[in-house]
Chain A
Amino acid sequence: MDITILYGTETGNAEMLAEDVQSALEDAGHEVLVENLSDVAPADLDVSRLHLVVCSTYGDGELPASAQPFGEAMKDAPDLSGLRFGIFGLGDSEYETFNMGSQQIEEMLVAAGAERIGERVTHDASGDDMAEDVALPWAEAVVEAVGADA
């Protein structure tokens, strides 16, 4: 399957996780591109590819720095009907606004007509799990759901 992983990061943790997901999916035989949301405009999204979004939260529930231009551009979003995406959030439950960054991206994409595959899954930096231990099963499940559908 042709898959694009988009990441929104502030400290680099989401970028590292995106690379982990890429390696795992490539090992499973998929063709995977990884892009920083800072380098992507909503109009560039290729609806023929499955998109996996990995996004953290920063400050007071805001988008991380690298996702902010994308968030701005989504205010004037093109029609994204046909785009299928899975979404994974990174956050820290020490803070009340835990994982609101990924929630914002999800809402923007859905409002523009894109279809979310599976539930939004989140990781808690203050929890006991490693992010990749939560994210890899998520990515596999999203890919499987799309594969079963095709």
Chain B
Amino acid sequence: MRKVAIIGAGPSGCFTAQGLLKARPDWQVDVYDSLPVPYGLVRYGVAADHQGTKGIARQFERVFERQGARFFGNVTLGREVTLEQMRAAYDAVVLATGLAGDRVPELVDDGATPEGMIGAGALTRALYDHPDAGDLPDIGGHVVILGNGNVSVDLLRLLAKSESELEGSDLSPRATKWLTSRRIDSLTIVGRSAAELAKFDPVMIRELAKLQAVTIRVADLPEGEMTDAGQEKLLSALCEIDGLSTGPLPITFRFNMPLQSIETKDGKVTGLVAGRDGAESEHLPCNALVTAIGFCCDGRLGRDAVMSGAEDAEAGRIAEGLYAAGWFRRGPRGTIPENRADSLALAAKIVGDLEATPETSRAGHDGLGLTCETVDHAGWQRLDAIEKAQAMAGRCRTKIPTRSDMLRLAQKIEELK
């Protein structure tokens, strides 16, 4: 029996496990995560008010429940176990740890992040109760969101929603209070490229038309017709929301505004200067700056060096018996469906590679000699049930926010037996 370890229980790791076990139900597939709980960005990245999108987790449940994959939560590669140990214990190891770092504007020196500036990844982790997240920042007044992708739109939408519009989400009482007690005077979303080249999904732009307390203005729209159907679609979505007025909060879209500098006073953000070379640059005063300009490696697993040395990065093969999936492989691009297609293709590649090599006897999980506390799928199901049962009014779930509580509650029932 072949044994495969997948490092990272987010969507790419789980889809890889699904594909492997669909082709080879007889193989042992073990999925490890550094958190005690699985599903990565489905749990901590997909917006709290997009519960329909989180429905893919039901597929992943089946990978463990019916397809026979095993989950080992609370195991960090590089800490509890080395990559060399993993590779010795398994026929194949798949790195699917994603990219958790926030890209920072080039003109900001690391370590000199001014007060009032926060990366989108850090902010969403704090909002969605990620156990390793920092505190929610004190932002308010005039808020600028830098970046023109779906992450920016998610944050824009959440910051613009009133309490009743958050019904059905899984936001905690703390995050709800933070979102609805912000005294936000304006929200401005600033992108470097032209409107038609923005990375927004048109369907998410249209969704903004449902906001109940906003006045939207879309500035810097191009004149004339687009020849590209995708660009035309995006522009028509932007035109549709332009002028929408359902309430007092002003939302402004700005395009063609590459960042030139960030202005600070006493270590606090006071504004930014943006604009095209040659054109007159503009000064946009703000009290808070949320950067949503993409994700990068946060240093873990030396990802950039690993991928640049890969045998076949396009196919996800790093070396014999070592593979990469999802954002770890392809960079921080692509939605869940694109990464699913990638993961299923990778699973087929791994099956082909392993079937073409003579079978050797590997120890698998037992060969790792792990001494740390781990959470298995049954433990996760206990946590899942607790989170649903303790959901506050108007919420579908209230997450357990700390590792220690996750570990304690995942084991609880076994101790009682």
Binding site for B on A (CB under 8 A): 10-13, 16, 58-60, 65, 92-97, 124-126
Asked if B50 and A94 make an inter-chain contact with CB atoms under 8 angstroms apart, the answer reads: yes
Given contacts A13-B59, A60-B203, A60-B237, 12 further A-B contacts (CB under 8 A): A10-B337, A11-B340, A12-B18, A59-B201, A59-B202, A60-B233, A65-B341, A92-B53, A93-B52, A94-B49, A94-B207, A126-B51
Whether A124 contacts B52 in the complex (CB less than 8 A), given A11-B337, A95-B203, A96-B206, comes out as yes
* 4 closest Cβ pairs, A-B complex: A125-B52, A92-B52, A126-B52, A10-B337
Q: Does B15 contact A (CB under 8 A)?
A: yes
Whether A13 contacts B55 in the complex (CB less than 8 A), given A59-B201, A60-B233, A95-B203, comes out as yes
Nearest to B62 among chain A residues (CB) is A16
Asked if A94 and B62 make an inter-chain contact with CB atoms under 8 angstroms apart, the answer reads: no
Query: What are 24 contact pairs spanning A and B, CB under 8 A?
Result: A10-B337, A11-B56, A11-B59, A11-B336, A12-B59, A13-B55, A16-B59, A59-B201, A59-B203, A60-B203, A60-B237, A65-B337, A65-B341, A92-B52, A92-B53, A94-B49, A94-B207, A95-B203, A96-B207, A97-B203, A125-B52, A125-B53, A126-B52, A126-B168
Q: Does B79 contact A (CB under 8 A)?
A: no
Asked if B15 and A12 make an inter-chain contact with CB atoms under 8 angstroms apart, the answer reads: yes
How far is A10 from B339 in the complex, measured between Cα atoms in Å?
11
Binary interface profile of B, 42-62, with partner A (CB < 8 Å = 1, else 0)?
000000011111011011001
Would you call the interface of chain B mostly helix, strand, loop, or mixed? helix
CB-based A-B contact count at 8 angstroms? 52
B contact residues around A58 at 8 Å (CB): 337
Q: Interface residue count for B (Cβ, 8 Å)?
A: 25
Asked if A16 and B58 make an inter-chain contact with CB atoms under 8 angstroms apart, the answer reads: yes
B contact residues around A10 at 8 Å (CB): 337
Asked if B56 and A12 make an inter-chain contact with CB atoms under 8 angstroms apart, the answer reads: yes
Within the complex, the shortest CB–CB distance from B156 to chain A, in Å, comes to: 15
B contact residues around A95 at 8 Å (CB): 203, 206-207
How far is A53 from B278 in the complex, measured between Cα atoms in Å?
56
Within the complex, the shortest CB–CB distance from A102 to chain B, in Å, comes to: 15
How far is A58 from B204 in the complex, measured between Cα atoms in Å?
12
Nearest to A57 among chain B residues (CB) is B203
Within the complex, the shortest CB–CB distance from B334 to chain A, in Å, comes to: 13
Binary interface profile of B, 292-321, with partner A (CB < 8 Å = 1, else 0)?
000000000000000000000000000000
Asked if B337 and A94 make an inter-chain contact with CB atoms under 8 angstroms apart, the answer reads: no
A contact residues around B237 at 8 Å (CB): 60
Within the complex, the shortest CB–CB distance from A20 to chain B, in Å, comes to: 10
Nearest to B344 among chain A residues (CB) is A12
Question: In B332-378, which residues have CB < 8 Å from any A CB?
Answer: 336-337, 340-341
How far is A48 from B51 in the complex, measured between Cα atoms in Å?
40
How far is A96 from B341 in the complex, measured between Cα atoms in Å?
26
A contact residues around B201 at 8 Å (CB): 59
A contact residues around B59 at 8 Å (CB): 11-13, 16
Whether A13 contacts B56 in the complex (CB less than 8 A), given A58-B337, A126-B168, comes out as yes
How far is A93 from B59 in the complex, measured between Cα atoms in Å?
20
Within the complex, the shortest CB–CB distance from B51 to chain A, in Å, comes to: 6
How far is A93 from B340 in the complex, measured between Cα atoms in Å?
23
